[in-house]
Amino acid sequence: MNIRFYNARILPMETADGTVKTGELWVKGDRIALVGDPTGREPLAFDREIDCEGNLLLPGFKNAHTHSAMTFLRSFADDKPLHNWLHEDCFPMEAHLTGDDVYDLTKLAVLEYVSGGVTAAFDMYYHVDRIAECARDTGFRFTICGAANDFGGTAESTRRDYERLNAFDPLVNCRLGFHAEYTTGEPLLRDLAALAEELKQPVFTHLSETAAEVDGCIARTGMSPIKYLDSLGMFRYGGGGFHMVHPREGDLEIMKARGLYVCTNPASNVKLSSGVAPIETYYREGIPVAIGTDGPASNNCLDFFREMFLVTGLQKLTVGAAAADPVKVLHSACSVGAKMMGLDHCDCLKEGKHADLIMLDLHMPNMQPINNIAKNVVYSGGKQNVALTMVAGKVLYERGAYTFGVDPEAVYAKANEIIARIRKTEGR
């Protein structure tokens, strides 16, 4: 399908300079065919033409760390620190999930993603084939992260998932990963490092999320989690850490040397009382920063506007008012996350890139007056401004309506049925 957006403001996000263009954006099939001035270009045979009325087009937000199917625990597992939250609530309840449950619960997350301007998610969870099927069936883009640990998964199963999922559908790709150092013994870690060496691929994991996690690793190994994993050869081909709240001395040097990404999850880290990641330090040191919501059990919503505000706001609180420039934060949300997820083909709005984009309605009181559009998105934007979400050239959401053949009420009913069943089984 060929679509013409005209009378648009366009924020390409190729860099973090916040430059806004005016003009048109053309989509041909799943690709962007033009950005900006159409003068001298031969028009396509458009199937649809959309008058943007001066509204803003920008790349969709990339949720660079989440556990989508944890929607069933939203506002159930709350008000506890990470260790208690995991072992007292999450792990016992998750043990009852089926593959069908994960499919249905992931679909609920997709509804929230696309209505909030998210076009791709870096998902770490169980029943990965069902997550991939949900991507295919909804038209949403998923990068699936390996989650092996001592409770399930091996290097060989990680290899099989990697090979199978990367061939499954254009909307699905897979990255090597494991749950965390504290849930994964050294024999399995060495096997995974050997797999990364063999495939020459980066590895991603929960990393330095809490002070207790870091202290525990030092007590066991004499090293911080980053140093320990690097000593095993885990990051020879790069990768990254989800959270990275508590780096220790020497960690940043390893991160820079290995080209590691940080994915910050401020709402989850605040809610679980895990701390505030030193994002301004990462920016200053040239360490690439992506943004994620974490799962809807620890957040509890999948709202990128809230995440972006918290990224900059918490740095201002802990470092100073000039910290975490909002335009840089917006670039983290749209573009850096794409690169972390292996989605270089949809990291910005540029001719030849995949058409993963959103339109934000500027004709709302929270976006006026228009002094600085990029700052407005971060400081005052909200999910109510999302007028349209497109993935791979297909509109999935437009002005309150889902356009991929889904009945939202049926999705909500299924999610409530799943949590009711599991609560009954657990006697909660």
CA distance 395 to 208: 38
**Could you tell me which residues come within 8 angstroms of residue 350 by beta carbon, excluding any fewer than 6 positions away?**
12, 14, 32, 35
Q: How confident is the model at residue 82 (pLDDT cuts 50, 70, 90)?
A: confident
Confidence of residue 180 (pLDDT cuts 50, 70, 90): very high
Please state, as a whole number, how many other Cβ atoms lie within 10 Å of the Cβ of residue 302.
Answer: 29
Residue 397: closest CA among 361, 348, 343, 353 = 361
**What is the radius of gyration, based on Cα positions, of the chain?**
21
**Burial classification of residue 137, based on how many CB atoms lie within 10 Å of its CB (0-12 exposed, 13-18 middle, 19 or more buried):** middle
Distance CA 71, CA 68 (A): 6
3-state secondary structure of 348: coil
CATH T-level fold of 61-344: TIM Barrel (3.20.20)
CB-CB contact of 270 with 314 (8 Å): yes
**What whole-number percentage of the chain has pLDDT above 70?**
100
Q: Which residues contact 65 (CB under 8 A, 6 or more apart)?
A: 122, 124, 242, 243, 263, 265, 290, 292, 293, 294
* Residues 226/251, Cβ–Cβ less than 8 Å: yes
pLDDT value for 77:
80
Is 0.95 topped by the overall pTM?
A: yes
- Both tokens of 140, joined, read 């949403």
Superfamily for domain range 2-60+346-402: Urease, subunit C, domain 1 (2.30.40.10)
Q: Could you report the per-residue pLDDT of 236-276, keeping only the tens digit for each?
A: 999 999 999 999 999 999 999 999 999 999 999 999 999 99
DSSP 3-state assignment of 333?
A: helix
pLDDT value of residue 376? 97
The structural domains of the chain, with segments of one domain joined by +, span: 2-60+346-402, 61-344
